Amino acid sequence: MASAGHASDLDLIVDKVRRAGALAQHLKAHGLITSFKADGSIVTNADTEVNLWLREALLDARPDYGWQSEESPDNAERLDARRTFVLDPIDGTMGLSKGSPYWTIALAVIEANRPVAAVVYAPDAGELYAAEAGKGARLNEAVIRVTGTSQLESAEVVGDSRLFGRDIWPEPWPRLNVVSRPSVAYRMCVVAAGRADFTMALTPKRDWDVAAASLIAQEAGAVVSDHLGNPYGFNARDSLKPSLICSGPALFPEIIRRCAHLLTLENP
């Protein structure tokens, strides 16, 4: 329980992310300014302004915490901090720029390489997902839980439907009901909320893509790992994750079995 006058980390990040969501919506309403990074990925003024505002607000409240964000230069100081904020200021920037409501702000607090508090906020969808380690996960204050689906046939999936038809699979996937959402964090939260049975990606992810949603999904009963079943650790020197599986526990072993031959991922 937080002491009087000192908000818990979860209360702090929920409050600040709500405010940052309003800032992003304001910028969107007045016309986003779009540019491209060196790697060709899109970035808008919402990404940069949300990043700057949250960095100042959060580190003002927790000056001893480390900082890691997609839109900030990395720094080694975070590795020695007891707790570190990990932020994706806008996850699903392309979706935001094209008018999708499923972009998010994803923020986690990491301690000892594990998320201990997390929020994923989709302002345009009116959905705020939050979790604290050992205390379950919630969507807009309602407790959420993963599905108990145990059969892949007709499973509900959120991701890229093209993945399942590629020639990398010795065993064809059964019929799946696949929907697309631009934010990786949002896809994981959809699984956490029991609206889909699993999501997977064979493209690399970064800590800021998956840290917050990992805690929310796990607290809702999901299993989160790379495609070989290796669990994630966060706030290490290298933030790269090779792939993503986020699934209800009954389906997870079958998904991992189907991925076992993909020992390394080249041009996924």
Overall average pLDDT of the 38-59 stretch: 94
pLDDT tops 70 at residue 266: no
Residues in the chain: 268
The confidence band for 196, taking pLDDT boundaries of 50, 70 and 90, is very high
Two tokens, residue 237: 């020197």
Domains annotated on the chain, with CATH? 9-143 (3.30.540.10), 156-259 (3.40.190.80)
Residues 61 and 69: their CA atoms lie apart, in Å, by 17
Identity of the residue numbered 171: E
pLDDT at residue 6, rounded to an integer: 59
Q: How far is CA 169 from CA 141, 150, 245, 259, in A?
A: 40, 20, 16, 8
pLDDT in tens, 76-89: 999 999 999 999 99
Element (H, E) at 115: strand 114-122
pTM of the model: 0.95
CB neighbour list of residue 20: distance below 8 Å, 6 or more residues apart:
50, 53, 54, 57, 89, 105, 121
pLDDT in tens, 143-174: 999 999 999 999 999 999 999 999 999 999 99
pLDDT tops 80 at residue 268: no
What is the average pLDDT value for the chain, to the nearest integer? 94
pLDDT at residue 234, rounded to an integer: 97
Bridge partner list, 225: 245
Residues 117 and 111: their CA atoms lie apart, in Å, by 9
